Amino acid sequence: MKNWEENVRRVVPYTPGEQPNQPDMIKLNTNENPYPPAPGVRRILHEMNTDTLRLYPDPAAGDLVRAIASYYHLDESQVFVGVGSDDVLAMCFLTFFNGKKPILFPDITYSFYDVWADLFRIPYERPLLDEDFRIRKDDYLRENGGIIFPNPNAPTGVEMPLKDIEEIVKANQDSIVIIDEAYVDFGAVSALPLIGKYDNLLVVQTFSKSRSLAGMRIGLAMGSPVLIKYLNDVKYSFNSYTMDRTALAAGVEAVRDEAYFRETCSKIIETREWTKEELKKLGFSFGDSRANFIFAAHETCPAEELFRALREQHIYVRYFPKGRTSNHLRITIGTREEMKTFLAFVKKYLSNR
Ligand SMILES: *Cc1c(COP(=O)(O)O)cnc(C)c1O
């Protein structure tokens, strides 16, 4: 080993879900939205004057921040935006988790949290989910350097009731509590109404799932003006121009079209509830997902076997091989047609094995 290697920041990186690209594939592996973005997004990108790309974008992302603030009836000083919520969450870890006490997040959750904690050398503990894959609220009522979890949780889809979230936020006024609401628009209750009441609460959301813009990279955090100011101070110390002109323009159009947003979210919720019924008939069990995916285990067929069989058919779902999740598949909700094809194959496969 050369000496310079001693000075390298070595990390075990996050592994994103596969992004295969086959014309006939059914892609149910990374929780993308099966519907296109709002029509206004297409129009604004089509009309975009590319001459403006020689100029830097607005570092404050003013138009997008205003559009989001107006949609959620907030003040602009309560909104922060970034390049997907991964960028926003990384900024949050860097900004708020600087204590000596360990931060807390569940053992089974978004697998980026431990990667950021390792990257930024933040100590952490991971309280176990219970037997039914629920977050145990009481695990978060003890000393800590910060708290983060998704609601609904990923990859389980299970929601924590708002009153439990409030209890956690209230009991932890000396640390920052971050609720990652990547999937909240698919029928869960948002903690957003609590940000006016607790200045230690930050709610993070994304345009990648419910607003069909995973390819555009837009995420946001909402919280008290003092939290947003600290986030901006760190952002401006790192990269002032995080969001590009196309993302800013597309984001504004996506938030403005509330009718389209509601319509596509309801279609996904309906398809999810129908898929749950069909999966039950086929012998699967799962928690009551409020997200755009179902985390399911089959009574006899091992998850890995089914994962491989589906993959051969170019039907992609997500499989987490390690530990307690190794007999589950996380199945993203696609269109009704995609789910029919998926279920038909699963039914045929199970009856022939
Ligand atoms: C998808 C996801 C994110 C990241 O989304 P971006 O595409 O970076 O906005 C963050 N947290 C959870 C729990 C997610 O599932």
**Domain definitions of the chain by residue range:** 20-36+259-352, 39-256
pLDDT of residue 1 exceeding 90, the answer is no
- Is residue 224 within 6 Å of ligand 1 at its C-beta? no
In this structure, what are the phi and psi dihedrals at residue 85, rounded to the nearest 5 degrees? Answer: -75, -15
- Is residue 29 within 6 Å of ligand 1 at its C-beta? no
Burial class (CB in 10 A: 0-12, 13-18, 19+), 228: buried
The pLDDT assigned to 15 comes to 86
226-254 pLDDT per residue, tens = 999 999 999 999 999 999 999 999 999 99
Total residues belonging to the chain: 353
Architecture of domain 39-256: 3-Layer(aba) Sandwich (3.40)
213-224 pLDDT per residue, tens = 999 999 999 999
Maximal CA-CA distance, the chain: 60
The pLDDT assigned to 54 comes to 98
85-137 pLDDT per residue, tens = 999 999 999 999 999 999 999 999 999 999 999 999 999 999 999 999 999 99
For ligand 1, the distance from its centroid to the CA atom of residue 149, given in whole angstroms, is: 12
Beta bridge partners of 285: 297
- Nearest residue (by CA) to ligand 1, atom 14, is 182
- Is residue 152 within 6 Å of ligand 1 at its C-beta? no
CB 230 within 8 A of CB 93: no
Reported as half-sphere exposure (CB side, CA atoms, 13 A), residue 243 has a value of 28
CB 210 within 8 A of CB 243: no
For ligand 1, the distance from its centroid to the CA atom of residue 118, given in whole angstroms, is: 18
Confidence class for position 17, pLDDT limits 50, 70, 90:
confident
The pLDDT assigned to 136 comes to 98
For ligand 1, the distance from its centroid to the CA atom of residue 266, given in whole angstroms, is: 20
Average pLDDT over residues 15-20: 86
Provide the 3-class DSSP secondary structure of residue 192: helix
Provide the 3-class DSSP secondary structure of residue 283: coil
- Is residue 106 within 6 Å of ligand 1 at its C-beta? no
The pLDDT assigned to 31 comes to 97
162-177 pLDDT per residue, tens = 999 999 999 999 999 9
Peptide bond before residue 155 is cis, with ω within 30 degrees of 0: yes
- Is residue 140 within 6 Å of ligand 1 at its C-beta? no
CATH classification number, 20-36+259-352, choose in 1.25.40.10, 2.60.120.200, 3.30.200.20, 3.90.1150.10: 3.90.1150.10
Return the best residue to mutate from 31, 178, 209 for the ligand 1 pocket (most ligand atoms within 8 A of CB): 209
The DSSP secondary-structure symbol of 58 reads P
Q: Which atom of ligand 1 is nearest to the CA of 86?
A: 8
